[in-house]
Structure formats: structure tokens, C-alpha cells
Amino acid sequence: MPISQAMRDRHSVRQYLDKPIPENIRQALDSYVISINAAGGMHIQLIYDEPACYNTRMAHYGHFENVRNYIALVGPKGSELEEKAGYYGEMIVLKAQELGLNTCWTALSRGKSRSVILPGEKEVILISLGYGATQGSARKSKRAAQISDYAPDAPDWYREGIEAALLAPTAINQQKFRISRQGNKVAIKTSGIGPCLKIDLGIVKFHFEIGAGKDNFEWA
């Protein structure tokens, strides 16, 4: 499955089946995360067969059920950590989708994770992982004109980048970002106030790169 298809198919899934993740899928995800940690200087961890973290009042209140696996976005403290967690986390989300798994970013609706946090590191956020009871469903989205300077004479790659950005998950579906272009230079900034905006920004940037094609533009 191409990653662009995974991007269209992905929706947040909060209820999971009892089905364990088989060994071959774990190995594929584990080696993907090893390569991401090496490339991004992160300490992202996959935690399997651990039902306690999402077996809390907060998780049930947030309609999470039967979460037995999750991804812990851990990395070195610093001003870029949250955006990096969003960027690399969404890479893993879309890889998981390609492998037939479902996910949901989780800032609040869960308990304490079993990740290993070394001195100088911080855990930014978790992502639930497993076989969904359903594939989730499409949600409301802003339109291109509300989040960008898109005009009909813009190049195709820009339109496709914006469409991909609008498919990106954001905290409470806030979609508080603004995309602008000068020639082949593109800027994405968060706009207004809201929770997890820097994480959202990293997620949205990754989606834009997939939609637009990295060779077609440069980040401003």
C-alpha cells in the first residue's frame, strides 16, 4: 500500500480487538522505529502487551477500550522535541496503517506509560496501537482556503500538499495551522492558541511532504 493511501485510510481508532500483534509485524515495526531513532536522534519505544496504561478512568472517559500496545514518543529535551515527536510519530502511524494496524494519538486519555526515559530525555506523547474494532471514520475538516493562501493557479504539488495536510490528525481536530508559499518555498506555522500545537505542526509537515513530494519544494 503506498503511503499516500495509508494517509487517506487512517482515522483515529480508540477501541481495539483482543488480537495480538503477530511477531512478523512487530519485527517490521521495530526495525522501522530503530531506523527512525537513528535518523532523528529520538528514543521512540514500542510497548507491546501492556494493558495497564490505557486501563484508567481518563482512558475510558475518552472512549479508549482494550488498548494493549502503544508507541511512546521519547527524545532528548530541547525546543524542537515536540515538533520532532509529531513528525516522526506520524511516520510510524502511517507505517502501522500500511501494516494493517490502527492508532490514535493520545495526549490526555491514558495513564502512565512503561517507557524508559533516560536522563535528559522527555516523554512527549503516546499513540495507541493495535487491531481496531473498526477502521474509524472520516471527520469534519477545514477547507484549503481557511488554512492556506491556495489559489487555483498554484502548482499541482502545492494543492496536493495542502490536501494531505488537511488529512493530518490534530489535537481535538483543531487544524490550527497556516500554509503559505513563495515560489517553491513553503512555510507552515501554527496559528492561534490550542493544546499540542507544536506536535500538530510536526504531523502536518510530514503529511505536506508526502502530498507535495519532497523534491518539488523547500521549507522556507
10: helix, coil or strand?
coil
Closest separation between CB of residue 196 and ligand FMN, Å? 4
Closest separation between CB of residue 22 and ligand FMN, Å? 25
68 or 181, CB closer to ligand FMN?
A: 68
Residue nearest to ligand FMN (CB): 169
Q: From CA 70, how far away is CA 54, in angstroms rounded?
A: 9
Please, which residues have CB within 8 angstroms of residue 23's CB and are 6 or more apart in sequence? none
Q: Give me the sign of the Cα torsion angle 86, 92, 94, 96.
A: negative
Q: Which three cell numbers stand for residue 135?
A: 477502521
Closest separation between CB of residue 153 and ligand FMN, Å? 29
Please, which residues have CB within 8 angstroms of residue 24's CB and are 6 or more apart in sequence? none
Q: From CA 162, how far away is CA 150, in angstroms rounded?
A: 8
Closest separation between CB of residue 111 and ligand FMN, Å? 12
Closest separation between CB of residue 171 and ligand FMN, Å? 4
132 or 217, CB closer to ligand FMN?
A: 132
- List of residues contacting ligand FMN (CB under 6 A): 11-12, 14, 62, 104-109, 125, 136, 139, 169-173, 196, 199-200, 203
Q: From CA 176, how far away is CA 201, in angstroms rounded?
A: 9
Q: Residue 166 half-sphere exposure, CB side, CA atoms within 13 Å? A: 18
Q: From CA 124, how far away is CA 199, in angstroms rounded?
A: 9
